[in-house]
């Protein structure tokens, strides 16, 4: 049996950007061939990007993907790469049957050799939970696929196929393969890296062969793909792994002797704050670039949320492409203005000051608002200023709200909720502080200036919409709030379970009532990167018009 | 064989409002019993409301629904209605199995008799296309259910079960029943009434027995349920039907002699404009009431869109609960202001004038905007005024944009897109005119004052954001635009097919480019009632970050 070299091409595709995705496939194939690879494996739905949602149902899109795949196969051959085996994902189609006379789209992996598609595999298990809607758009496959390369039998499956017991993996075990290649579009969530390797280890043992796991990387709408491609041996050991959150070409040799597998470099693990911070940067980078922006604008209040968003933005697009706008009102404290300016200087952002009094006064002169209407007015004037700068100068507006605020509806629609992207949408307030400290410590470790002013981290949070206001006037302390939210939202516990955990009944009732009523606000919020197991929006889908309220005391 | 009387209880449930839904079930059962019914059939998921989306996954919600169902059964018995057979829908749970040790929610129909659940049926076919996501939240059932009432065999299925060939309907045909009872939550779309009766006729012939089709009515988020419950005979004839868009208790007797079925009243058909207009009214009524509002506020520009929305609103909540705000700028024509005032008087709305110049001038004094930024500024000041009135006075804000504008992105985020609900979101501009004329003619037929000023219908549409601006400066004529949009969006045709239909290539390319780039704007738009086969939002789900563009010339 020959030893063969497999290249795991961990790349960043863009949904619908078929030409560029095809170009990237060719480049990686060339690079892999140059490094002596026999096989190059790319992520799930490489040609089309992932997830394509209802684009799958459009005939012209299917035709476009099909034509691009044929062209890639031809280009590989014409570049002298015909003998390289290239495994890519794309949108396929079922063969018409009596039950389904019209072809239906499939989530397909194909094998290219010598200018042609020599084998293909349609994903069996179509996930339809959490962020996934594949059962909606794809028809499942029912066949297995094994391709031979220099006498070695390589089985093919796609992502969810290894997350379900039985199915094609069990069939691979029965048919016998020398390695199982898995194409993935597995979105990031905290701690998921370990879950993947443990799962892959179990499947490798089931199949009795190494498992080659190739994941995509990059931000796509509200999903962040973290890469972290790897190979586990037949005994479940991680043999080699790619770094996360970057494109990478990982080479691994499938040994002649199954009992003496080759090992390669293993990427260092990331701690919890680091992986989340990097997910935020990756998500924002992808959203800005893939939507054709070059710069971002955000309001700098002097508070911790906008400071962390600015730091993430500077890491994503460069401080010189960040515009921070201080928009003080009569209620803004001096320290807020100082902290905002200090932050902008630390990260090298453009800093502007635009007081809101002239506009607020104009509205008040006409409408004479008070109470919540007057508070919201201030937030909305700020939102309009940011949108005006976006329209005039072309920056993407970032919303700075965090998950705790979003959970309880502590935000102003068309005010601080304005923006194309909300980096902290899935980051609760406790984590906002932790990430800020982590990022500052990283700077200190590197001998750099910490991006976030210390006083933004230490002062009590305030929306500064009325004199002396602090968040804790309306909300429980954030550490307590975040615990209740975690139990109620992430773990879907009810009031009974929350009280049994020892939470105070008044706090529980107050928080649950706020959460149950805030769905319409959450629905209006911009997209943000999913980093936890349960992100608002794609993961958790609720009616707006619902009179369900968790039963209270 | 006994003749039995079946009551079709076409009711308006609310998602999550379990107590009120239970109360309605009891009231209808009482009413049906009073009318001599042996059996009363209610719509799909009566206890919980429909669609419940991810509420299905919350244990406390399942417990609440279960307790309410038990209570309904007990209350029926204690009110002396134990001998009445009551068929209701609710959320059920699978029995734990080795494959699935945890119970999973099901979409269940249950039969109540003598204070107890005597039979239950879990929906087999879980739709997961268009507006539906049931495969995401429910586990499918695999058993059939037949209940005997006075010696008559009544089969039970739920909604999608009759839309799929084979499955439980085929099993009913094999097992033999005297009638098939179908509980439905079938959302409105234009022309769907006929589709339903034709389908039901086919299934009735398959089963060889009458089919009793009970549908819900009322607005629920972006779905409108139109009722229109009916009975078809074993030969496919419609034997009786309920009026649409209203609650109704329809009685029908299952004859002893299958060859001599009873006939009852058949509701008159609605023409296309009437059914859509009534769907808009039903949708808005439900959204306002179920979200706890009593009144609405909207900007009145003098144009046709806001005029139609105001007319719909007056029909939904009463003209006295509509606040119309004229917000003229320096570009507003005199006729616009006159038409706005005229409209408000015609529908009996509160009318206010709030010029935007003071606020626009304040922003311009600080920011000196021009071009699109200056145009958007005007729309956003108007949005802020409406939100301020909403916050101060508690009205629901209505957005007035139509489907044609939304398709091409001809709207200002945080400007005219502000609002909790958008009645015309799924109504294209051509239909806006048709509905306006239809509504005015209805008034003339009734000897009432037509709600919409004639000049709002006849004048050329303009956003009035710069001097002399009309929509046709930036867009093709609406009749042409709507044809292209219909082909590209509703029928998912590509450029090739559009050109083959004879559309001008320049128009096609311009429109397609606009549509492909406007997804992020559509995503930010408020909910509105689905009335066509393909509504933006729930029906058509696309990534925002997509570089897919229909290939142009």
Tell me B461's DSSP state: P
* Full-model pTM: 0.96
The reply to whether B483 falls in a domain is no
pLDDT at A148: 97
Let me know if residue B108 belongs to a domain.
yes
Asked if the structure places residue A359 within a domain, the reply is yes
Residue where a domain stops, chosen among B259, B284, B307: B259
Measured between CB atoms, which of A14, A63, A544 is closest to B547?
A14
Residue A234 located in a structural domain:
yes
Taking 90 as the threshold, does the pLDDT of residue B1 lie above it?
A: no
User: Which pLDDT does position A335 carry in this prediction?
Assistant: 87
pLDDT of A451-504, one tens digit each? 999 999 999 888 888 888 888 888 999 999 999 999 999 998 999 999 999 999
**Bridge partner list, B99:** none
Whole-number average pLDDT of chain A: 96
Catalytic residue of the set B123, B290, B403, B530: B123
Of B14, B134, B159, B464, which one is the catalytic site residue? Answer: B159
B214 and B315 fall within a common domain = no
Please report the pLDDT score of residue A553 as a whole number. 54
pLDDT exceeds 70 at position A322: yes
* Separation of CA A539 from chain center: 12
Q: Which of A14, A134, A145, A159 is catalytic?
A: A159
* Domain end point (choices B447, B470, B493): B470
Q: Are residues A156 and A280 in the same domain?
A: no
CB distance B72 to B39 below 8 Å: no
CB contacts, 8 Å: B494 with chain A: 58-60, 63
Angstrom CA distances, B271 to A226, A315, B194, B275, B276, stand at 54, 59, 12, 6, 9
Instruction: Answer yes or no: is B357 within a domain.
Output: yes
**Whole-angstrom distance, CA of residue A481 vs CA of residue B345:** 50
Partner residue opposite A548 with nearest CB, options B61, B136, B527: B61
Per residue in A461-473, pLDDT (tens digit) is: 888 888 888 888 8
pLDDT digits 0-9 by tens, B377-403: 999 999 999 999 999 999 999 999 999
Residue A338 pLDDT exceeds 70: yes
Whether residue A174 is found in the same domain as residue A37: yes
Instruction: Return the residue of B nearest to A539 by Cα.
Output: B54
- CA closest to B288 among chain A residues: A545
Q: DSSP assignment of A389-425, as one string?
A: HHHHH-PEEBP---HHHHHHT-S-TTTTT-SSB-TTT
**What single-letter DSSP state applies at residue B60?**
H
Asked if residue B124 and residue B15 are part of one domain, the reply reads yes
Q: For chain B, what percent of residues have pLDDT higher than 90? A: 92
- Given a cut of 90, whether residue B337 has pLDDT beyond it is no
Number of domains in chain B: 2
In this model, does residue B552 exceed pLDDT 90?
Answer: no
End-to-end CA distance of chain B: 70
In this structure, the answer to whether residues A172 and A139 fall within a common structural domain is yes
Q: Kindly name the residue from A14, A44, A290, A530 that is annotated as catalytic.
A: A44
Tell me the residues of chain A between 277 and 296 that have a Cβ less than 8 Å away from chain B: 286-287, 290-291
Q: Identify the closest residue of chain A to B537 by CA–CA distance.
A: A54
Domain match, B363 and B229 both? no
Edge-to-edge strand ranges of the sheet holding A248-254: A116-122, A105-113, A85-93, A39-41, A4-10, A248-254
Residue A443 lies in a domain: yes
Q: At A92, phi and psi to the nearest 5?
A: -110, -165
Q: Can you give A490-533 as a three-state secondary structure string? A: HCCCCHHHHHHCCCCHHHHHHHHHHHHHCHHHHHHCCECCCCCC
pLDDT at A551 over 90: no
Give the pLDDT band of residue A333 (cuts 50, 70, 90).
Answer: confident
Which of A93-102, A117-126, B114-123 has the weakest average pLDDT?
Answer: A93-102
3 state SS of A40: strand
Instruction: Give per-residue pLDDT as tens, B137-193.
Output: 999 999 999 999 999 999 999 999 999 998 899 999 999 999 999 999 999 999 999
Q: From CA A429, how far away is CA B16, in angstroms rounded?
A: 30
Q: How far apart are the first and last CA of chain A?
A: 70
Contacts of B373 in chain A (CB under 8 A): 388, 391-392
B418 part of contact set with chain A, CB < 8 Å: yes
Beta bridge mates, B409: none
A378 domain-assigned: yes
Instruction: Tell me: do B184 and B108 sit in the same domain.
Output: yes
- The rounded mean pLDDT for chain B is 96
pLDDT at A552 over 80: no
Is the distance from CB of B477 to CB of B509 less than 8 angstroms? no
Question: Residues B419, B464: one domain?
Answer: yes
What's the pLDDT score for residue B553? 54
For residue A326, give the CATH number of its domain.
3.40.50.620
| Percent residues over pLDDT 90 in chain A | 91
Q: A122 - beta bridge partners?
A: A108
Cα–Cα dist A224/A236, whole Å: 26
Regarding whether B249 and B318 lie in a shared domain, the answer is: no
* Residues with Cβ within 8 Å of residue A60, at least 6 apart in sequence: B494, B495, B496, B550, B551
What does the alpha-carbon distance between residue A478 and residue A409 come to, in Å, rounded to a whole number?
A: 14
DSSP-H helix ranges across B394-428: 403-408
Q: How many helices (H) and strands (E) does chain B have?
A: 18, 18
Within a 13 Å sphere around the CA of B372, how many CA atoms are in the beta-carbon half?
12
Asked if B403 is an active-site residue, the reply is no
> Phi/psi of residue A327, each to 5°?
-125, 70
Q: Looking at residue B469, what is its pLDDT?
A: 83
pLDDT in tens, A135-159: 999 999 999 999 999 999 999 999 9
> Nearest Cβ partner of B14 from A17, A547, A550?
A547
ipTM value: 0.95
Print the domain residue range for B307: 275-470
Residue B127's CATH number: 3.60.110.10
B337 marked as binding residue: no
Same domain as A375, residue A240: no
What number is the average pLDDT over the span A157-172? 94
Residue A276 annotated as binding?
A: no
How do strand B211-215 and strand B230-232 relate by DSSP bridges? antiparallel
Do residues A366 and A220 both lie within one domain? Answer: no
Q: Are residues A388 and A439 in the same domain?
A: yes
Q: Give yes or no for residue A56 having a pLDDT over 60.
A: yes
Chain B residues touching residue A381 (CB < 8 angstroms):
384
Looking at the domain assignment, is residue A242 inside a domain?
yes
Partner B, chain A 188-247, Cβ-Cβ below 8 Å: 219-221
- Domain boundary at A210, A227, A259, which? A259
Whether pLDDT at A255 is above 80: yes
Residue A348 tokens, joined:
């090298």
**Known binder of ligand: residue A299?**
yes
Give A286-298 pLDDT, tens digit per residue.
999 999 999 999 9
């Amino acid at each position: 049996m020959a030893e063969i070299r497999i290249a795991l091409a961990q790349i960043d595709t863009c949904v619908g950007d078929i030409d560029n995705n095809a170009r990237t496939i060719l480049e990686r194939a060339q690079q892999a061939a140059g490094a002596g690879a026999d096989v190059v494996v790319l992520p799930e739905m490489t040609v089309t990007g992932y997830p394509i949602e209802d684009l799958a149902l459009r005939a012209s899109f299917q035709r476009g993907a099909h034509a691009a795949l044929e062209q890639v196969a031809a280009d590989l051959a014409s570049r002298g790469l015909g003998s390289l085996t290239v495994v890519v994902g794309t949108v396929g189609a079922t063969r018409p049957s009596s039950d389904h006379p019209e072809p239906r789209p499939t989530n397909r992996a194909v094998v290219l050799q010598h200018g042609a598609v020599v084998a293909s595999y349609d994903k069996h298990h179509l996930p339809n939970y959490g962020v996934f809607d594949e059962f909606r758009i794809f028809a499942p496959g029912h066949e297995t696929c094994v391709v031979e390369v220099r006498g070695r039998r390589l089985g093919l499956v796609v992502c969810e196929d290894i997350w379900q017991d039985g199915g094609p993996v069990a069939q691979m075990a029965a048919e016998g393969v020398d390695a199982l290649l898995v194409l993935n579009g597995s979105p990031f969530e905290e701690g998921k890296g370990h879950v993947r390797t443990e799962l892959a280890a179990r499947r490798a043992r089931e199949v009795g062969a190494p498992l080659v796991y190739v994941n995509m990387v990059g931000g796509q709408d509200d999903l962040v793909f973290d890469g972290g491609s790897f190979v586990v041996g037949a005994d479940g050991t991680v043999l080699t792994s790619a770094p996360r959150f970057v494109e990478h070409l990982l080479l691994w040799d499938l040994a002649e002797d199954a009992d003496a597998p080759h090992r390669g470099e293993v990427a260092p693990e990331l701690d919890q704050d680091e992986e989340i911070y990097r997910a935020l940067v990756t998500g924002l980078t992808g959203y800005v670039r893939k939507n054709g922006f070059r710069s971002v604008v955000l309001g700098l209040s002097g508070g911790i949320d906008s400071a962390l968003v600015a730091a993430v933005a500077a890491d994503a697009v460069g401080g010189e492409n960040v515009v921070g706008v201080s928009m003080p009102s009569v209620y803004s404290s001096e320290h807020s203005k100082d902290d905002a300016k200090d932050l902008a200087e630390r990260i090298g952002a453009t800093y502007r000051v635009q007081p809101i009094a002239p506009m607020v006064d104009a509205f008040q002169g006409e409408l004479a608002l008070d109470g919540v209407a007057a508070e919201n007015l201030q937030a909305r004037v700020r939102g309009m200023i940011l949108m005006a700068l976006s329209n005039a100068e072309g920056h993407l507006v970032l919303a700075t709200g965090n998950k705790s605020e979003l959970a309880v509806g502590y935000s102003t629609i068309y005010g601080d909720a304005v923006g194309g992207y909300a980096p902290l949408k899935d980051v609760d307030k406790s984590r906002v502080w932790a990430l800020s400290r982590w990022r500052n410590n990283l700077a200190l470790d590197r001998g750099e200036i910490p991006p976030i002013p210390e006083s933004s981290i230490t002062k009590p949070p305030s929306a500064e919409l009325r004199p002396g206001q602090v968040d804790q006037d309306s909300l429980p302390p954030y550490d307590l709030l975040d615990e209740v939210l975690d139990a109620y939202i992430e773990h879907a516990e009810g009031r009974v379970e929350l009280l049994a955990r020892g939470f105070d009944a008044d706090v529980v009732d107050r928080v649950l009532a706020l959460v149950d009523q805030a769905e319409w606000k959450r629905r209006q919020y911009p997209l943000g990167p999913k980093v936890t197991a349960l992100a608002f929006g794609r993961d958790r889908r609720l009616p707006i018009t619902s009179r369900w309220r968790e039963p209270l005391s």
